[in-house]
């Protein structure tokens, strides 16, 4: 691959362009609380800022990656990030953008997810020598005295103002529990605590967090009469407004066990033409001149830009070795002449060499159900060794596995798997 990304080179040097202008040019910024003040502060000072992550799953997903990239740009400009893990707020769950109340999570589940998040974040953010901090809000939220909280914080919140917030409006008709109603107060208290303990002056988060983030800004300004700011990043959406990062199996996870580097690569290799430039700007460190050059490609040539996008993003998430493997696997399937070593492999037992193909593929999670598999066969969308499977009752045979490469399965136009006997 001829394109070499600046693979998160941590450095002390301040980049020539203001980081605010960098974030704006690359398309991160959605809303800011005090634009002129923020711009001046980021140009003249080295600040501490934070981004919160509620550990609702055991892996970060591509939606989190936007925030991590914003955090990395800020760190590279000399600012200190705090990654705030929601050991406390995760016990309630953010109602923003949700039609129904979130499932209540156990402390054990939350703590496990926090440990997973810590490992993943360390790939993108340099936590050495105090360059960034990782903090758990459970350290202060879980031990709060309720009456003291009401006296200290509750007096600064107007119920009328809270109910007007976008994060609650959506749930008003369907029912909003008092349990969830407290989330805004808890998030605001997080900012107040980080401001008090670490001189944290700015919160960055997704655009759906705007109301919650403003609450924290206002709490600090009212209680301490000190400046505080917030900035939201645009959510990762397609050109027609749909949320990106959804796959057949759910979210586009950053954990290789939940989404293989090959599948991750293929997702970006197949994004819509209209979304390529935006994704290059937000999810890679390629210079913007290069981003614009690649984004200007049209028709067949845009595929070259997609290759760069897929490689760069996969390299950031999974490392260069896995990105190279994903490229080789793709070349093997679409270019011919390469081996199939890096194509996703499904291992079956000797006994399964004579099983029905539908049963094997369903057991291996290629399909969510036998019904789904049969539907694809009926639509002539399932191929075995480049021949369409026409019979839903088709059974494997030992002869199919005579070759060392095993059996090649194609699901739809671009999803490939290799079945081998373990």
The model's pLDDT over 188-233, given as tens digits with 9 standing for 90+, comes to: 999 999 999 999 999 999 988 898 899 999 999 999 999 999 999 9
Place of tokens 């040019």: 25
Q: Quote the pLDDT of residue 1.
A: 41
**Catalytic residue, candidates 24, 34, 102, 258:** 102
Burial group, residue 221, by CB count within 10 angstroms (0-12, 13-18, 19+) = middle
Instruction: Kindly state the greatest CA–CA separation across the chain.
Output: 78
Q: Assess whether 208 carries a catalytic annotation.
A: yes
Burial group, residue 106, by CB count within 10 angstroms (0-12, 13-18, 19+) = exposed
Q: Assess whether 64 carries a catalytic annotation.
A: yes
Query: What whole-number distance in Å separates Cα of residue 156 and Cα of residue 402?
Result: 73
Give the ranges where 122-209 is alpha helix by DSSP (H). Answer: 138-141, 146-152, 159-163, 166-172, 178-181, 183-198
**Catalytic residue, candidates 126, 207, 208, 273:** 208
Q: 246-334 in CATH: which number? A: 1.10.240.10
The 10s digit of each residue's pLDDT in 269-308 is 989 999 999 999 999 999 999 999 999 999 889 999 999 9
Q: Quote the pLDDT of residue 2.
A: 37
Query: What's the pTM value of the predicted model, to 2 decimals?
Result: 0.76
Q: Quote the pLDDT of residue 14.
A: 40
Q: Which residue has the higher pLDDT, 93 or 387?
A: 387
**Catalytic residue, candidates 243, 249, 292, 365:** 243
**Catalytic residue, candidates 75, 89, 120, 187:** 187
Average the pLDDT over each of 13-17, 42-46, 417-421 and give the range with the smallest value.
13-17
Q: Assess whether 98 carries a catalytic annotation.
A: yes
Q: Assess whether 315 carries a catalytic annotation.
A: no
Compute how many other C-beta atoms are within 10 angstroms of the C-beta atom of residue 352: 18
Average the pLDDT over each of 23-27, 366-370, 412-416 and give the range with the smallest value.
412-416
Q: Quote the pLDDT of residue 218.
A: 92
Where are the domains positioned within the chain? 19-233, 246-334, 345-421
Write out the DSSP string of 332-348: HHHT-SS-STTS-EEEE
**Catalytic residue, candidates 64, 76, 171, 269:** 64
pLDDT at 101 over 60: no
Query: What whole-number distance in Å separates Cα of residue 285 and Cα of residue 241?
Result: 24
Q: Assess whether 123 carries a catalytic annotation.
A: no
Q: 337: which 2 tokens? A: 């002449």
Work out the average pLDDT over 136-165: 82
**Catalytic residue, candidates 34, 39, 98, 221:** 98
Dihedral angle computed from the Cα positions of residues 110, 112, 114 and 118, in that order, rounded to the nearest 10 degrees: -170
The 10s digit of each residue's pLDDT in 119-132 is 899 888 999 999 99
With a pLDDT cut of 90, the percent of the chain lying above it is 44
**Catalytic residue, candidates 48, 237, 247, 364:** 247
Q: 238, 252, 247: which is closest to 313 by C-alpha?
A: 252
Q: Assess whether 247 carries a catalytic annotation.
A: yes
Q: Quote the pLDDT of residue 4.
A: 39
**Catalytic residue, candidates 174, 246, 380, 414:** 246
pLDDT at 336 over 60: no
How would residue 153 be classed by pLDDT, with cut points 50, 70 and 90? Answer: confident
CATH top-level class for 345-421? Answer: alpha beta
Q: Assess whether 89 carries a catalytic annotation.
A: no
Q: Assess whether 318 carries a catalytic annotation.
A: no
On whether the 19-233 domain is CATH 3.40.50.1820, my answer is no
Place of tokens 């055991």: 58
Q: Assess whether 73 carries a catalytic annotation.
A: no
Place of tokens 């190279």: 324
Compute how many other C-beta atoms are within 10 angstroms of the C-beta atom of residue 302: 19
The 10s digit of each residue's pLDDT in 337-373 is 445 666 778 888 888 888 999 999 998 888 889 999 9
Mean pLDDT estimate for the chain: 85
With a pLDDT cut of 70, the percent of the chain lying above it is 84
> Residue 398 in contact with residue 374, Cβ under 8 Å?
no
**Catalytic residue, candidates 56, 320, 345, 364:** 56
Work out the average pLDDT over 116-144: 91
């Amino acid at each position: 691959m001829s394109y070499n990304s600046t693979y998160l080179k941590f450095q002390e040097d301040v980049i020539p362009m203001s980081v605010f202008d960098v974030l704006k040019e690359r398309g991160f910024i959605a809303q800011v609380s005090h634009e002129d003040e923020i711009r001046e502060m980021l140009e003249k000072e080295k600040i501490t800022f934070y981004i919160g992550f509620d550990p609702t799953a055991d892996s970060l997903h591509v939606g989190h990656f936007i925030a991590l990239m914003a955090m990395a740009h800020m760190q590279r400009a000399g600012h200190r990030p705090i990654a705030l893990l929601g050991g406390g707020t995760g016990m309630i769950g953010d109602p923003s953008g949700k039609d129904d109340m979130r499932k209540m999570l156990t402390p054990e589940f939350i703590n496990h997810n926090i440990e997973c998040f810590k490992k993943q974040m360390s790939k993108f953010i340099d936590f050495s020598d105090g360059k960034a901090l990782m903090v758990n809000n459970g350290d202060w939220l879980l031990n709060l005295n309720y009456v003291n909280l009401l006296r200290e914080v509750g007096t600064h919140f107007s119920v009328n103002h809270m109910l007007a917030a976008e994060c609650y409006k959506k749930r008003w008709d369907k029912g909003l529990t008092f349990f969830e109603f407290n989330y805004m107060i808890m998030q605001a208290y997080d900012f107040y605590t980080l401001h008090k303990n670490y001189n944290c002056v700015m919160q960055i988060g997704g655009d759906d967090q705007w109301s919650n983030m403003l609450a924290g800004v206002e709490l600090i300004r009212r209680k301490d009469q000190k400046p505080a700011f917030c900035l939201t990043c645009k959510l990762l959406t397609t050109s027609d407004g749909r949320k990106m990062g959804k796959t057949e199996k759910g979210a586009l996870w950053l954990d290789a066990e939940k989404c293989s580097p090959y599948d991750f690569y293929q997702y970006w290799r197949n994004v819509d033409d209209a979304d390529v430039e935006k994704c290059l700007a937000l999810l890679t460190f390629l210079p913007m001149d290069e981003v614009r050059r690649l984004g200007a490609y049209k028709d067949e040539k845009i595929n070259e830009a997609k290759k760069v996008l897929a490689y760069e993003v996969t390299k950031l998430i999974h490392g260069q070795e896995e990105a190279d493997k994903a490229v080789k696997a793709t070349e093997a399937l679409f270019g011919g002449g390469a081996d199939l070593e890096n194509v996703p492999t499904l291992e079956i037992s000797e006994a399964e060499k004579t099983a029905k193909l539908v049963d094997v593929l369903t057991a291996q999670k290629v399909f969510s159900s036998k019904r789904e598999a049969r539907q694809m066969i009926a639509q002539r969308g399932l191929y075995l060794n480049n021949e369409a499977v026409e019979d839903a009752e088709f059974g494997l045979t030992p002869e199919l596995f005579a070759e060392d490469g095993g059996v090649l399965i194609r699901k739809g136009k671009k999803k490939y798997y290799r079945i081998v006997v373990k």
